[in-house]
Structure 1
């Protein structure tokens, strides 16, 4: 079993792992010849399935496995991976490979960076054990809880100008057998009632977070507690709705307030007959086509809107993917679920498009 790759877009990789780590502590990572897949399925909240084109983040890519279709399945702690990638932001070169030390499987991130004369020598620290029971030691300067090694026998010297230093961070992981991951499949949902391209996610996140803070403050009694004995399912939910005439609405309704923000002039992408069962006839009978006929272009009528109710804190974590950028299509299954498709921009015009899919269940009214 072998995996090695040079990282060409560490900025995107770092932002992606930051967003994913907010949803859950670990990810199932599937490496193959076709793409790199990250799956996060937390105990509660939204799940995410990301399929990244290899050239989206890697420059050279080598994988060898005895498993079917030449695949490798890993369980990776997202915080450790994110912190390691973050430390490589200013590196001149970074690569990642699968290895093993002391019979512990590791993802080793090798960073090449320059050390300048006169740089202060950082103090030595030690890392506490993580949830994998691994207690790495690391040399000066590490604050991330990952094991560091240098390719030199002696400690790095700071007395030479523009010297390149190679540092390796070892991230403990678990290698999963094909049988373990065989049952991991994307959720199935019905055909959406409304599909719409969302406004910039960071703009939507700013307003959603403001509404969530208002919802929390409106439920706190005078003593400062929530009054719900830890049952967050009873907290007021954000109501997100859209129609097939380019309108999106975010609403918070409680006993004390009823506020909303509204976007108009958004796009409802056309369905591709090749992807819809029945082709053109299938599109004519599609729920979104029926929903379009019920609404009005001004969005004044209550007809023709699909509604989902979301936990504000979980929704804010999902919107964190806006750091990565890209086009986002939201598919509303009325009163049931919201599916987000985040299409990342590929700098290679002929490259394969990467997509991150979020599945968010709707709360009942």
Structure 2
């Protein structure tokens, strides 16, 4: 079993792992020839399913195992990996590999940094010896001092080891991405930092106006329609406030991803929802709503550090799925990889196990 790679996009990978670390402590990492998957399935709260194309973060990608597609499954303490990657910012090179130390599997991060220091010698150059054996005078000329005090390059190598657990195929077969109903509303979200600021303010106000423990979490109601509107609200016995965005974009569905083509798009719940509501959003039937835990929502919004391009898929009274596109290079172009975060509505019945899986590829480019 072998895994070794040179990381080309350390900043993106570090932000990605930091986002995962804010949502859970342990991640399942699945490496194979086609992609790299990170999954967090906590006992409660949001679930994270992400797929990275190797070229998104890795320059070289060497993988070898006895499983099909050279698959390697690891249980990774994602917070420890996130901390290790933070020390690789501005590194000259960063390499990650699977190794063993004292028979314990490790993800070993080798970080090379280069720094420059200036010389501080008082005497510029040592004296030379003349023919009579007597030392010559020291050279204090400007050129000599410049040579003595010039910048010196210094290379530092740091190794960070993260203990991991290698999982068998039998163990991971029990881990499945949850199935959901087709969403009623698909909408591009405004900047997540903006949403987080408003959501956190609503949460504080709700806590301040209710007689509950400070550890309790209010429920935020999120709703959206197929005419570019998004609303966040909170309601308590003493408080009822909301904030609304308009002019957002509802992505179009791609007929190529439906078995019956254009007819599949016409029959889709989001198409029917668009017909129910109007541009003003006055018809409540045109809105899809979910109620989610405020603290869990705040943690989920940390994915905003990875990408500004996020699609939210609303399943009315059921749940919310966020698709976070990851840029493939430092210029932020061509986002083939995707991080998926699923949140269950607080009062949602468990009726989604047998429904059809929904994929982000349904959207037109």
* Band of TM-score, shorter chain: 0.7 to 0.9
Structure 1: how far apart are the matches of 2:18 and 2:210? 30
Structure 2: how far apart are the matches of 1:350 and 1:16? 16
Partner of 1:208: 199
Q: TM-score, normalised to structure 1's length?
A: 0.83
For 1:271-282, list aligned pairs within 5 A. 271-282=253-264
Partner of 1:357: 340
The CA deviation at 1:352 is: 6.7
3-state SS in 2 of match to 1:219: coil
RMSD value, Cα: 2.0
Q: Is the 8 A contact 2:188 2:312 kept in 1?
A: yes
Structure 2: how far apart are the matches of 1:362 and 1:64? 41
Among 221, 224, 246, the alignment partner of 1:239 is 221
Partner of 2:185: 194
The CA deviation at 1:118 is: 8.5
Give yes or no for the alignment of 1:309 onto 2:300.
no
3-state SS in 1 of match to 2:255: coil
3-state SS in 2 of match to 1:42: coil
Q: Is the 8 A contact 1:250 1:261 kept in 2?
A: yes
Partner of 1:133: none
Aligned length: 316
The CA deviation at 1:202 is: 1.2
Give yes or no for the alignment of 1:283 onto 2:265.
yes
Deviates more, 1:240-249 or 1:274-283: 274-283
The CA deviation at 1:300 is: 2.1
For 1:39-50, list aligned pairs within 5 A. 39-50=39-50
Superimposed CA distance per residue, residues 16-48 of structure 1 (whole angstroms, 9 cap, x where no aligned partner) = 111101111010001111111100011110000
Superimposed CA distance per residue, residues 93-113 of structure 1 (whole angstroms, 9 cap, x where no aligned partner) = 111000001101000000111
Give yes or no for the alignment of 1:346 onto 2:328.
yes
The CA deviation at 1:91 is: 1.3
Give yes or no for the alignment of 1:80 onto 2:62.
no
For 1:172-187, list aligned pairs within 5 A. 172-187=163-178
Q: Is the 8 A contact 2:210 2:238 kept in 1?
A: no
Partner of 1:13: 13
The CA deviation at 1:213 is: 1.4
The CA deviation at 1:350 is: 8.9
Partner of 1:298: 280
Partner of 1:95: 95
Q: TM-score, normalised to structure 2's length?
A: 0.83
The CA deviation at 1:361 is: 0.1
Superimposed CA distance per residue, residues 197-244 of structure 1 (whole angstroms, 9 cap, x where no aligned partner) = 1111111111111111112222246xxx44xxx6x4xx4310000001
The CA deviation at 1:302 is: 1.8
Q: Is the 8 A contact 1:194 1:244 kept in 2?
A: yes
Give yes or no for the alignment of 1:52 onto 2:44.
no
The CA deviation at 1:326 is: 3.8
Give structure 2 stretches of 5+ with no counterpart.
Answer: 120-150, 349-365
Structure 1: how far apart are the matches of 2:9 and 2:193? 21
Deviates more, 1:339-348 or 1:69-78: 339-348
The CA deviation at 1:279 is: 1.8
Larger radius of gyration: 2
3-state SS in 1 of match to 2:296: helix
Superimposed CA distance per residue, residues 57-113 of structure 1 (whole angstroms, 9 cap, x where no aligned partner) = 111111011112211000000111011000111211111000001101000000111
The CA deviation at 1:116 is: 4.9
Structure 1: how far apart are the matches of 2:259 and 2:223? 26
Q: Is the 8 A contact 2:210 2:237 kept in 1?
A: no
Q: Is the 8 A contact 2:110 2:157 kept in 1?
A: yes
